[in-house]
Amino acid sequence: MKVLVTGGAGFIGSHVVDALILEGHAVVEVDDLSSGRRENVNPAAKFYQLDILDPQLREVFQMESPDVVNHHAAQVDVRRSMADPLFDAQVNILGSLNVLENAREHGVDSFIYASTGGAVYGEPSYLPCDEDHPVNPICPYGVSKLAVERYVAYYGHAYGLRHTILRYPNVYGPRQDPLGEAGVVAIFARRMLRGEQVVINGSGEQERDFVYVDDIVAANLLALDDLNGEIYNLGAGVGTSINQLFAIMKSLGGYARDPIYGPPKPGETFKIYLDATKAGRQLGWRPRVSLEDGLRATIASFQ
């Protein structure tokens, strides 16, 4: 089948593209390269450098007639969403609506949406969060991602668009941007390998659910055979504090310095980790790469 991947030159999207091509699918990539990188573009894919807000996206759908859209393009920085919620909404909501409208107009059969488990639940009332946990985002990024979940469900109801929504944990691995604000593993790895000072925002006791990118890719492949309108949490189901993460990476990378602590990031949930029981039961998915093995591979990729 032919799969159109938005954000296909980005961190997670590029890994998804590579896996789809290995599985024998034809792949079309759409990415404006604002955060994605041209070196991430798979030469076996057809690439369009285009913003998902651009009206010319319609021409891509007309020419390529994809069977499936895998929608990864997004503004993913919580702090930027707090500082500029209008920009966040333009990219994540209006951009996604442009993709959905083109999918509807051009007869796309199926839609996979990369959402966030780390931001839609807000401050959890219980942990780990399952899909029945109330959604109460505390930052514009979480609001915009949740809004698009609702739009995807609407297009399924109104137009028969087969779809699956994947709520991601904190994904890490090779190709993650070490200069952005949304990838603590990549930021730590780059600073440690350069011998630079690592800064931990807040107390470091905040907890996240870290899952290696290869495991997230596996869920995207499994979702191709499960497009029944379901929402799935992806996660290891355990929280790892930023202090614990630092200690593991310090040991693996031979980093000699202690961290210093800065102010906490506004809008970020303090502790969040996800119950992926449903994904295990219905998709047959579970994370297979241990945190230590994944961090070792990530550090090696930055070297």
Q: How far apart are CA 276 and CA 23, in angstroms?
A: 25
CA–CA separation, 125 vs 242, rounded Å? 21
Phi, psi of 80 (to 5 degrees): -65, -35
Catalytic residue check, 141? yes
Query: Contact, 4 vs 69, CB < 8 A?
Result: yes
Question: Do 61 and 98 touch, CB atoms closer than 8 A?
Answer: no
CB distance 285 to 140 below 8 Å: no
Each residue's pLDDT tens digit, 118-156: 999 999 999 999 999 999 999 999 999 999 999 999 999
CATH topology classification for 173-208+238-302 = UDP-galactose 4-epimerase; domain 1 (3.90.25)
Q: What is the pLDDT of residue 182?
A: 67
Q: Which position has the token pair 């191709």?
A: 224
Three-state SS at 159? helix
> What's the distance, CA 101 to chain centroid?
22
Residue 179: predicted pLDDT: 75
Determine what percent of the chain is predicted with pLDDT higher than 70.
99
Residues in the chain where the model's pLDDT stays below 50: none
SS (H, E, C) 19-88: HHHHCCCEEEEEECCCCCCHHHCCCCCEEEECCCCCCCHHHHHHHHCCCEEEECCCCCCHHHHHHCHHHH
Which CATH code fits 2-171+210-233?
Answer: 3.40.50.720
Q: What DSSP state is assigned to residue 118? A: T
H-type helices in 84-183, by residue range?
A: 85-89, 95-105, 140-159
Cα(246)–Cα(250) distance, integer angstroms: 6
Work out the widest C-alpha separation in the chain, in whole angstroms.
Answer: 57
The string over 274-289, giving b where at least 16 C-beta atoms fall within 10 Å of a residue's C-beta and e elsewhere, is bbbebbeeebebbbeb
Strand partners, 219: none
Asked whether 262 and 301 are in contact (CB, 8 A), the reply is no
Q: Are strands 210-212 and 170-172 parallel, antiparallel or unpaired?
A: parallel
pLDDT tens-digit readout, 1-51: 999 999 999 999 999 999 999 999 999 999 999 999 999 999 999 999 999
What's the pLDDT score for residue 237? 97
How do the domains of the chain map onto residue ranges? 2-171+210-233, 173-208+238-302
- Catalytic one among 48, 121, 141, 168? 141
Question: Which residues are paired to 245 by β-bridges?
Answer: none
- Please give the pLDDT value at position 181: 62
Consecutive H or E run containing 269 = none
